[in-house]
Structure 1
Amino acid sequence: MSAVNDTKFTPAVFLLTGISGQEDIHLWISVPFCLMYIISIVGNSVILFIIKTDPSLDEPMYIFLSMLAISDLGLSISTIPTMLGIFLFNFREISFNACFAQLFFIHSLQCIESSVLLLMAFDRFIAICNPLRYASIFTLPRIAKMGLVCVLRGVAVMLPLTILLKQFRYCQANVLSHSYCLHQEVMKMACADITVNNIFGLFTKLVTMGLDLLLIFLSYVMILKTVIASYAEFVRALSTCVSHLCAVLIFYISGIGLSVVQRFGNSSSPLVQILMGYVCLLVPPMMNPIVYSLRSKHLRARIIRAFKK
């Protein structure tokens, strides 16, 4: 009897959803999604290739940019199978283990990307406010350790949440409202008290992405205090930092907005939450290579030269 009850209360799979009510045009919706994935994967791969093969780009700023490109590639690859499976083939089922693995990678990579954006802000702060110490602070061994800390931080934050999710029984409707698995959604499917997971999840979001955003903001306040006296220095600092600022705004506004709406926006339209989810996962990986390619003259020149060859 216990085995029967376990199978009754623990479904074997989760069912994913595309855009509810728009199933008839899912094939057409897949076209812009495919284009966004292509731009994201090709753009980030090109940036990685150029930085890897061009010795003149062996600088801390471009090493951090390559870290950002790797995290964006990982984020895109984590969502491609299920998202295109829904829109192209109407394949909705995902096993428990695959779902937990997907949400672990999605949230871990978002945390890693947030850490990398903080490192890039610190890089700009030292380059502008304390340029004489820049070379001594950002040595290659130290940059490698910083990258390792970013990865370990993402894993350490998300692994306990994933383990907690796996301990629950899922006796409610197992239909998710997105075409991929997110912690907040899977958590609501549990037939147990999810208070600890809910509070711990929000806490980790605040002390990772929230704290990172605050430190990035403070770094730019310090940069402005340094260059505000000179108009020429202000313009130079702005031109140096504008691409990073764009990446920060795109990433944090979409990520924090989605987290808040999912937890507290019960009265908001489900379509709004669904669209915010797609924006959060598709737009930053697509826009980052575009923004950095357009704003960085040095990188843009190298990309143009590589394609001319």
Structure 2
Amino acid sequence: MTDLQIAGVSKAYGRGRPDEAPVLDGLDLTVPSGAFAAVLGPSGCGKTTLLRIIAGFLRADAGTVTVGGRTLAAPGTHLPPESRRVGIVPQEGALFPHLSVARNTAFGLSGLDRAARRRRTEEMLELVGLGGYGDRMPHELSGGQQQRIALARALAPEPAVVLLDEPFNALDSALRAGVRADVRAALRATGATALLVTHDQQEALSTADLVAVVRDGKVAQCDTPQEVYRHPADPWVARFVGDVVLLPGSADDGTATTALGRLPLGPAARDAGDGTVLLRPEQLQLTDAATAVQGTVTEVSFYGHDAMVTVDVDGLATPVEIRVAGFTGVRPGQRTGIRVTGEATLHS
């Protein structure tokens, strides 16, 4: 088993100054064996600090880190990085420019004879789709290929956990999705437990089995990408992981009364009370039909695969955003009806 357990981990850089807030503040996180988890959060929330503590590059002030029941860090215990069985894929590959692809891949393979090292290297290059590239030099590879070699190098020693430190940032958007899919497939093939550190919401939601949203040094929510997106823990998480429509509302008998009408709430909704109702822009639809909710289009932002339409709703102080597929033909100044689909979420 290679499950990753992080319990009560704290870290501050202020040398004990009372005005210095900790970067990590009693953070808890569990990643099951073989799972791919993403740690998602804004700059400065502690993502990279957490990764460095797991890798052994940094000592935590408090808390424990275990992998498969083996303690890597705890009060009085700090295994050195080379003893942790933790592989790292850094930003931009960080390959050794003077070593061939094969020698880069085999860099961490100590204790094996030459034939075994060669076999393992060839296996890893085949795994990441670069079989036959062993004699090339890093400067002869594309950015995506360099990231695949960095992954092969991290996987070659058969680590218990693989840490990925925003490894796709340097890639252009057209290449990024393909490399992410290849990396995910390679990790699945080895069965390694993986932790991706990122600030890219789409990257986390589309790649990971679990998404841990970090805020102020703690995990604000950890769940499947679907649950984090559809049932965020609070409005801050909702705004951070995607576009959101927030409305004042009053709940009663499993529904909420809002400016967009009476909306069904999810099964975890409170029985009654006032709060903030959350919807995603794709749950709102434009309609020509006469509906109880009407508004005026004020802006249309076209993105190719979809468009975001901003509407001033009659009787609502703030505009709402509606995501529609492709080009709809609507224009600013046009009157429209609005229909809501699916369940809403209510937060106090």
Give me the TM-score of the superposition, normalised by structure 1.
0.22
Higher relative contact order (CA 8 A, sep 6+): 1
TM-score (norm 2): 0.20
Structure that is richer in helix per residue: 1
Which has more radius of gyration? 2
Structure number with the higher strand fraction is 2
